[in-house]
């Protein structure tokens, strides 16, 4: 937990950066929201890029709802259980990670996502600026997964899985793939990705006719799931937070 200092607040801030630090969205998406007339500053709808605000005095609303810079910054690691959505609100009323953090005094947001069927490490924070930076592909955070495939994959299937392929119009390729366990009717592989596209491992598996039985994310960069049980969360320690800030190019003050 880190107390936000007032030294940064004494300077004017670009509106899209303010929205990002409030945890509303990324800077790029904030620009789209501004152009679409969804953002009001002191009661006036703003559509121009480059607008600057004083974080200490400004009143900013997005779609009519006021947003605020958090006074206290929280950084959490969670073991997201299987059959739970990553989003804080689900129109289908499925179980959500929001149900696991009701005891927190402040609202935090997931950094990235894990699909409904998958489990494992999820980061959450109310530091929108840091979250949006580490989610960007250019920061190359390795994501480590354990996937259990049904049956015994052939070497040809593994080779094809490791080859470059296209998902959502983007070229993707696993950083590394290695077998870690073998059972009578299935096998477990450790897969390291750099991209982390939506359902990436499941979709890559489908391409080579491999059926996923279980998929768990065990690490994001140098932050690991450790001994947490499904549904548990913990605050990041100083070393982990310093690591994330170094990756994002921010000083770990």
User: What confidence tens digit (pLDDT) does each residue in 70-100 have?
Assistant: 888 899 999 999 999 998 778 898 999 999 9
**CATH 3.40.50.1370 for the 2-67 domain, yes or no:** no
Task: Say which residues have a Cβ less than 8 Å from residue 50's Cβ, sequence separation at least 6.
Answer: 14
pLDDT at 164 over 70: yes
Average pLDDT, the chain: 89
Residues labelled as active-site residues: 115
Tens digits of residue pLDDT in 111-124: 888 999 999 999 99
How are beta strands 2-3 and 72-73 bridged, if at all?
A: antiparallel
Output the pLDDT for position 239. 96
Please give the Cα distance from 217 to 187 (Å, whole number). 16
What is the distance between the alpha carbons of residues 145 and 197, in angstroms, rounded to a whole number? 13
Instruction: Please report, to the nearest 10 degrees, the dihedral formed by the alpha carbons of residues 35, 37, 38, 42 taken in order.
Output: 110
Is 165 exposed, middle or buried, given 0-12, 13-18 or 19+ CB atoms closer than 10 A? middle
| pTM as predicted | 0.79
Domain residue limits, the chain: 2-67, 72-138+223-247, 142-220
CATH superfamily for 142-220 is Alpha-L RNA-binding motif (3.30.70.1560)
According to the model, what pLDDT value does residue 187 have? 98
For 139, counting Cβ atoms within 10 Å of its Cβ (0-12 exposed, 13-18 middle, 19+ buried), the class is middle
The CATH class of the 72-138+223-247 domain is alpha beta
* Common-topology check for domains 2-67 and 72-138+223-247: no
- Distance between CA 188 and CA 178 in Å, rounded? 9
């Amino acid at each position: 937990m880190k107390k936000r200092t007032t030294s940064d607040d004494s300077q004017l801030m670009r509106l899209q950066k303010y929205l990002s630090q409030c945890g509303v969205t990324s800077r790029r998406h904030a620009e789209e929201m501004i152009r679409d007339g969804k953002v009001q500053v002191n009661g006036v709808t703003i559509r121009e890029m480059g607008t600057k605000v004083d974080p200490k005095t400004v009143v900013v609303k997005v779609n009519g709802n006021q947003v605020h810079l958090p006074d206290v910054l929280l950084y959490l690691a969670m073991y997201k259980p299987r059959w739970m959505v990553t989003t804080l609100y689900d129109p289908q009323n499925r179980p959500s990670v929001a149900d696991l953090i009701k005891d927190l005094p402040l609202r935090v947001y997931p950094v990235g996502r894990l699909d409904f069927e998958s489990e494992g490490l999820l980061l959450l924070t109310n530091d929108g600026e840091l979250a949006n930076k580490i989610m960007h592909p250019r920061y190359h955070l390795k994501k480590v997964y354990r996937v259990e495939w049904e049956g015994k994959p052939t070497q040809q299937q593994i080779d094809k899985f490791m080859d470059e392929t296209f998902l959502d119009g983007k070229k993707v390729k696993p950083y590394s793939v290695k077998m870690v366990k073998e059972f009578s009717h299935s096998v477990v592989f450790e897969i390291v990705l750099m991209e982390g596209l939506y359902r990436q491992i499941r979709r890559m598996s489908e391409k080579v006719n491999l059926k996923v039985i279980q998929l768990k994310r065990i690490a994001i960069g140098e932050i690991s799931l450790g001994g947490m049980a499904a549904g548990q969360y913990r605050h990041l320690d100083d070393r982990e937070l310093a690591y994330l800030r170094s990756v994002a190019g921010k000083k770990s003050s």
